[in-house]
């Protein structure tokens, strides 16, 4: 049996509401059926827009006619209620119908234009030229995302410097690699955006940059942006971000003319949309207060405003989804995150893009979303609940009257690969990749976001249950010698203690993330090396005695790997057992980058160590002498010299190049590599991994 109300065919099994209160464009309905219901269909006498609804459902769409509204994505238990309001208030609700079955309803039209992930190049370990990148991109495409935001990293020596590292100076961020990935995604039908991100090597948050020469800083940064903008135009990038959280460099009115000049130059080479990634609140967890809306003096030249959103939601661990959802309207600090987003739109008259928001799978992650370093209990459910609340709120707000202020959302972050050899060493710095990290791949959050993204795209969501990410236990693999090398460090605090002004000079960046154990005993012995795969000895300040060298030689002969690193200014040292020595006198090069000791070598001998490396950057390198049995993989030019006089230029009597800077050899059953400079590891993730794999004879 069927009956019809106002032209709507309704199955007889559905019970119409038993009680309703309608006044001023609002209604409350009670479920008096004998079962839980999963949706509601209402018909009005004219087209309406929903302005508010309670927590039972998080989405509404227009049904088969302009006057029909379908509420979905939720449930109402028996004798529980659901209320909603609409505009215009004079519209009359003609009928209502509970939906008894749990529908998986795609959106007829997307509530906002863009949804997807930020593709994060994991520095210094994994970049965009990783061989597993295509597999990772295919998995990303499979989530139903319709957009990807690339975030290549751009480096400064420290937050006071005016130097900005040029594009293509690090193998993990070559323009050609990014271009290939962009074209791959564009070819798959996704929208691609580009957001270069400044990182200061002293660890200072980019929002606090304070270059001593702003003019020179803007000159250098403009060249970086122009290089990326030209690539963006060639590959079909839809939107280009001028900044990422560079608050101090944006809000200062003295810098506004610099930005206008940069924008004018970029407009000459790039035709897509321009934006900045601003900050709402503080990524360090301070209440919003006066920082609720970041000042952007040149916003009139932008097409939309991007924001980073890492505000606390509640003070509670494991809050239910409904509480997380309500916290977007009033969080633990009494702030409305939704209203702050709308204020950005109202202030600048531009659409708002949530270009960075992410949560860790950590118990209590909602209380400190900005905190990437703390440790605690793994909580994949809280991470998934946070994303569920996020999608509910953004969908509801976008479907409400005046909800066209939201351009979209980019989840931070999607990582290029997740193989164990990449994942495990990351624990030495912070648990970004681990069970407590922000990564969503192979966690419940990936399945949840896949469900949402398919629905936003008007597609039936697939049934997905990904196994939770687990970290395997492993024995020490790479051991770093800290007992003989007090001048270099694999710990940020130790680097600051050695050189407070320039900790980046002594920090073994890049290699740090691969260190599994640190040798602190006074001497080496066969016992101390028994569980070692690769031993790293860097610029020792004292010679190793005969017994130590015998233990190391035996370790290598039996199949171990040995990495020897020199450093300009360090004491002279010889490893006679392997026919190699280092002197502290630095190598200078006529074609330098920022000083006479800094230069790039782009002619490398083909070898498993260099198979994923386009070039190497050297800065303040030691002079290295090698004997027979060594294969030189990289060397300086014939114009280089061994600096001895202190005049920082080639002089009569100074030894001339070429000098080896990277060499390898086999010794017994094992392998040895010699490198003249610790800076060579900075940002060269693929080179380091290939080097260690070769030394370990691919034991991983």
Phi (first) and psi of residue 409, to 5 degrees:
-145, 140
Within 10 A of 402 (CB to CB), how many other CB atoms are there?
Answer: 12
Q: Nearest CA to 93 among 28, 139, 148, 176?
A: 28
Q: For residue 88, is the peptide bond before it cis, meaning its omega torsion is within 30 degrees of 0? A: yes
At 347, is the pLDDT very low, low, confident or very high (cuts 50, 70, 90)? very high
Q: Nearest CA to 659 among 675, 682, 671?
A: 675
Asked whether residue 70 carries a pLDDT value surpassing 90, the answer given is no
Within 10 A of 176 (CB to CB), how many other CB atoms are there?
Answer: 12
Q: Which residues of the chain form CATH 3.20.20.80?
A: 116-456
What is the strand order of the sheet 81-87 is part of?
20-23, 26-30, 81-87, 49-53
Max mean pLDDT among 89-103, 117-131, 525-539, 614-628 falls in 89-103
Q: pLDDT tens digits, residue range 433-443?
A: 567 788 888 88
pLDDT at position 620 is 75
User: Do 38 and 100 meet the contact criterion of CB atoms below 8 Å apart?
Assistant: yes
User: Do 395 and 409 meet the contact criterion of CB atoms below 8 Å apart?
Assistant: no
Average pLDDT over residues 246-261: 95
Asked whether residue 282 carries a pLDDT value surpassing 60, the answer given is no
* Minimum mean pLDDT range among 106-110, 312-316, 456-460, 593-597: 593-597
Average pLDDT over residues 272-293: 68
Q: Which residues of the chain form CATH 3.40.50?
A: 478-695
pLDDT at position 522 is 66
Q: What percent of the chain has pLDDT over 90?
A: 30
Residue 29, CA distances (Å) to 8, 68, 326 in order:
19, 16, 21
At 486, is the pLDDT very low, low, confident or very high (cuts 50, 70, 90)? low
pTM of the model: 0.62
Where b means 16+ CB within 10 Å and e means fewer, 484-509 reads: bbebbbbbbeebbebeeebbbbbbbb
Distance (Å, rounded) from C-alpha 117 to C-alpha 545? 53
Q: Tell me how far the alpha carbon of residue 450 is from its chain's centroid.
A: 19
Q: pLDDT tens digits, residue range 139-154?
A: 899 999 999 999 988 8
Helices (H), 330-379: 337-348
User: Do 552 and 534 meet the contact criterion of CB atoms below 8 Å apart?
Assistant: no
Max mean pLDDT among 214-218, 394-398, 504-508 falls in 214-218
pLDDT at position 190 is 97
The CA angle 523-529-533, to the nearest 5 degrees, is 140
Strands of 245-346 (E only): list them.
273-280, 305-309
CATH, range 478-695: 3.40.50
Asked whether residue 124 carries a pLDDT value surpassing 60, the answer given is no
Q: Nearest CA to 269 among 219, 318, 223?
A: 223
Distance (Å, rounded) from C-alpha 495 to C-alpha 568? 17
Residue 385, CA distances (Å) to 31, 365, 410 in order:
26, 11, 17
* Minimum mean pLDDT range among 266-275, 483-492, 655-664: 483-492
697 vs 121 pLDDT, higher one: 697
Q: pLDDT tens digits, residue range 550-572?
A: 888 888 888 888 888 877 667 77
Max mean pLDDT among 75-84, 120-129, 410-419, 671-680 falls in 75-84
- Break the chain down into helix, strand, coil percent, rounded to 5: 25, 25, 45
User: Do 479 and 532 meet the contact criterion of CB atoms below 8 Å apart?
Assistant: yes
Cβ-proximal residues to 191 (8 Å cutoff; 6+ apart), any chain: 114, 116, 146, 147, 148, 238
Average pLDDT over residues 413-432: 53
Cβ-proximal residues to 606 (8 Å cutoff; 6+ apart), any chain: none
Residue 142, CA distances (Å) to 194, 411, 415, 416, 454 in order:
21, 15, 15, 15, 9
CATH, range 116-456: 3.20.20.80
Distance (Å, rounded) from C-alpha 634 to C-alpha 611? 13
């Amino acid at each position: 049996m069927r009956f019809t109300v106002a032209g709507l065919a309704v199955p007889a099994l559905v019970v119409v509401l038993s009680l309703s209160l309608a006044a001023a464009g609002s209604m409350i309905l009670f479920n008096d059926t004998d079962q839980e219901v999963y949706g509601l269909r209402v018909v009005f006498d004219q087209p309406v827009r929903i302005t508010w609804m309670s927590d039972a459902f998080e989405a509404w769409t227009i049904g088969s006619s302009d006057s029909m509204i379908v509420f979905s994505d939720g449930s109402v238990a028996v004798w529980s209620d659901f209320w909603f309001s609409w505009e215009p208030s004079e519209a009359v609700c003609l009928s209502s119908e509970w939906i008894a079955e749990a529908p998986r309803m795609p959106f007829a039209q997307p509530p906002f234009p863009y949804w997807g992930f930020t593709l994060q190049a994991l520095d210094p370990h994994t970049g965009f030229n990783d061989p597993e990148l295509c597999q990772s991109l295919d998995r990303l495409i499979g989530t139903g995302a319709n957009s990807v935001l690339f975030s290549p990293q751009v480096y400064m020596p420290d937050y006071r410097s005016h130097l900005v590292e040029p594009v293509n100076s690090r193998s993990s961020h070559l323009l050609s690699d990014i271009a290939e990935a962009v074209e791959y995604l564009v070819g798959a039908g996704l929208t691609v955006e580009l957001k270069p991100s400044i990182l200061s090597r002293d660890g200072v948050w980019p929002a606090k940059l304070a270059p001593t020469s702003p003019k020179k800083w803007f000159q250098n940064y403009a060249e970086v942006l122009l290089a990326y903008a030209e690539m963006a135009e060639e590959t079909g990038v839809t939107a280009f971000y001028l900044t990422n959280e560079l608050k101090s460099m944006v809000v200062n009115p003295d810098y506004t003319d610099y930005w206008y000049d940069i924008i004018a130059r970029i407009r000459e080479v790039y035709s897509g949309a321009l934006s900045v990634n601003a900050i709402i609140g503080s990524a360090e967890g301070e209440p919003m207060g006066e920082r609720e809306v970041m000042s952007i003096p040149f916003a009139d030249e932008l097409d939309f405003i991007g924001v980073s959103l890492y505000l606390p939601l509640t003070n509670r661990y494991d809050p239910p989804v409904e509480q997380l959802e309500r916290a977007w309207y009033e969080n633990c600090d009494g702030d409305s995150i939704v209203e702050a987003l709308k204020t950005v739109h109202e202030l600048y008259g531009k659409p708002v893009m949530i270009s960075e928001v992410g949560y860790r799978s950590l118990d209590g992650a909602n209380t400190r979303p900005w905190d990437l370093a703390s440790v605690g209990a793994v909580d994949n459910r809280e991470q998934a609940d946070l994303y569920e609340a996020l999608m509910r709120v953004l969908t509801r707000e976008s479907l409400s009257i005046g909800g066209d202020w939201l351009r979209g959302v980019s989840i931070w972050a999607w990582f290029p690969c997740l193989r164990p050899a990449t994942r495990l060493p990351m624990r030495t710095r912070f648990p970004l990749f681990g069970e407590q990290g922000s990564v969503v791949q192979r966690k419940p959050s990936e399945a949840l976001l896949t469900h949402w993204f398919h629905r936003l795209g008007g597609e039936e969501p697939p049934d997905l249950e990904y196994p939770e990410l687990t970290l395997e236990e492993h024995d020490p693999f790479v051991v770093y010698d800290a007992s003989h090398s007090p001048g270099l460090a694999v710990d940020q605090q130790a680097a600051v203690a050695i050189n407070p002004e320039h900790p980046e000079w002594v920090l073994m960046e890049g290699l740090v993330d691969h260190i599994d154990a640190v040798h602190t005993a006074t001497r080496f012995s066969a016992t101390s090396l028994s569980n070692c795969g690769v031993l790293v000895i860097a610029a020792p300040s004292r010679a190793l005695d005969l017994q130590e060298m015998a233990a190391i030689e035996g370790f290598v002969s039996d199949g171990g790997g040995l990495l020897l690193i020199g450093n300009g200014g360090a004491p002279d040292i010889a490893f006679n057992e392997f026919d190699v020595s280092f002197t502290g006198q630095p190598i200078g090069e006529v074609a330098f980058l920022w000083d006479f000791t800094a230069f790039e070598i782009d002619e490398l001998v083909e070898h498993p160590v260099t198979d994923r490396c386009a070039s190497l950057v050297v800065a303040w390198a030691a002079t290295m002498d090698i004997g027979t049995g060594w294969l030189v993989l990289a060397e300086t030019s014939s114009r280089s010299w061994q600096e001895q006089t202190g005049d920082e230029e080639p002089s009569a009597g100074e030894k001339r190049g070429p000098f080896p800077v990277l060499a390898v050899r086999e010794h017994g059953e094992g392998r040895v590599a010699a490198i003249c400079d610790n800076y060579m590891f900075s940002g060269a993730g693929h080179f380091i991994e290939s080097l260690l794999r070769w030394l370990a004879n691919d034991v991983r």
